[in-house]
Amino acid sequence: MKNVSLPRNQQLSGERVANSFPFFLFSQTSVKDLMASKLLQLQAKASQASKFVAKHGTSYYKQLLEQNKQYIQEPPTVEKCNELAKQLFYTRLASIPGRTESFWKELDYVKNMWKHRQELKVEDAGIAALFGLECFAWFCAGEIVGRGFTFTGYYP
């Protein structure tokens, strides 16, 4: 393995950084060897997983269907699946009035809590703060996923 040492205050050009970073401590051949060995390990693990699925996959599939046979619609055809999809869509559409009613009840509860905030316990305030923090965390996670799993910004 060949170590490359750089002087402390040396400025690197863009080309030199691109060619050396992040593997600047390794020679090109050792990086290739490292990558090749990792690829071989990955291939071996994929082969093991494939053999396991080939050996146990059908028994797992049959066991799963047997355990959940009460949910299987007969006959299991594409037409039946399309019918069930339509039923799910219209059932969810029909549940919207109940959901909006629940939303307004929750909103009234929050308004009432705000009006009587002097009577608010520390425990309730802590729960509300944790809920707000959780909402913010989910927002941040969604933003990161939306950016393509980057923290710095959107891709052009």
- Distance (Å, rounded) from C-alpha 35 to C-alpha 43? 12
pTM of the model: 0.41
pLDDT exceeds cutoff 60 at 153: yes
Specify the amino acid at residue 107. L
- Distance (Å, rounded) from C-alpha 26 to C-alpha 90? 61
Question: Which pair of tokens denotes residue 80?
Answer: 């039946």
| pLDDT at residue 86, as a whole number | 96
Cβ(56)–Cβ(49) under 8 Å? no
Q: pLDDT of 93-120, one tens digit each?
A: 999 999 999 999 999 998 998 899 898 8
What is the biggest distance separating any 2 CA atoms in the chain, rounded to whole angstroms? 74
For tokens 């269907």, name the residue.
65
For tokens 């913010």, name the residue.
136
Mean pLDDT of 24-47: 78
- Distance (Å, rounded) from C-alpha 100 to C-alpha 112? 18
| pLDDT at residue 155, as a whole number | 66
Radius of gyration of the chain (CA): 29
